[in-house]
Amino acid sequence: MGIDAMPTRPMFHTDTALATGLRELLRQLEERLALRSPVNVYLAGGMAVHLFTGSRVTTDVDAEFGSRVFIPSDLIVDVTLEDGARQAVYFDTNYNASFALMHEDYLDDAIALDLGTAHIKLHVLSPLDLAVSKIARFADNDKEDIAALVRLGLTTADEIEHRATSALCGYVGGLAMLRLNLRDALALARQVEAEKSVVQTREQ
């Protein structure tokens, strides 16, 4: 376990429509591949954030596989969200973890989650590594994800700073923009922490 990992196991939201869709997607993949031995799957992106927060809505599944597998292009699961909207859950076959900022221990620190599949062993990136993975792109939804993870107490600005700084040496890409994104991500995280502190003070 990496030294930056959160000490307690977070709660997963596995009873939502999206989580149900993910479970069915993994079940169908296992069936289509006729798996007979375990395959590790590491979940990142918005779906992982949803499992921790219960609020993020995304339908493309960013997943890294521990073994080489073929993802059928027609593997899609239709779900009805809590607000009645219909969505299709599917694997993003263009997902590549090397494009994100990732600490060298991110796979080791991923958290196992049993969704009932016999051979697909699901692991969800830790909240800390999810937050760090959002820094390289740092689009609006990435900012919202970082804020949500910090707001729920699943990671902190100091942890993000330490983990991200440690991960910089392994990043493939322009470091100048990445450092600017990291600066802004930390400012965002600290702003959320300050807002939390004000709310907690008022409630006391």
Q: 188: phi > 0 → left, psi -120 to 50 → alpha, else beta; which?
A: alpha
Residue 56 in domain? yes
At residue 8, the pLDDT reads 65
Q: How is residue 50 written in tokens?
A: 């949803």
Q: What is the mean pLDDT of the chain?
A: 93
Residue 173, CB-side half-sphere exposure with 13 Å CA sphere: 15
In the predicted model, is pLDDT for residue 108 greater than 60? yes
Residue 85 in domain? yes
Residue 4 in domain? no
Specify the pTM.
0.92
When pLDDT is cut at 50, 70 and 90, the band that residue 7 belongs to is very low
At residue 203, the pLDDT reads 80
At residue 75, the pLDDT reads 97
Give the Cα-Cα-Cα angle 179, 181, 187 (nearest 5 degrees).
105
Residue 78 in domain? yes
Residue 38 in domain? yes
- 159-180 confidence digits (pLDDT tens): 999 999 999 998 988 899 999 9
When pLDDT is cut at 50, 70 and 90, the band that residue 25 belongs to is very high
At residue 6, the pLDDT reads 46
Quote the domain boundaries for residue 47: 17-203
Domain count, the chain: 1
Strand duo 86-91 + 76-80: pairing: antiparallel
Residue 108 in domain? yes
Element containing residue 113 per DSSP (H, E):
none
- CA gap 119, 184 in Å, rounded: 40
**Amino acid identity of 6?**
M
Residue 12 in domain? no
In the predicted model, is pLDDT for residue 41 greater than 50? yes
Residue 3 in domain? no
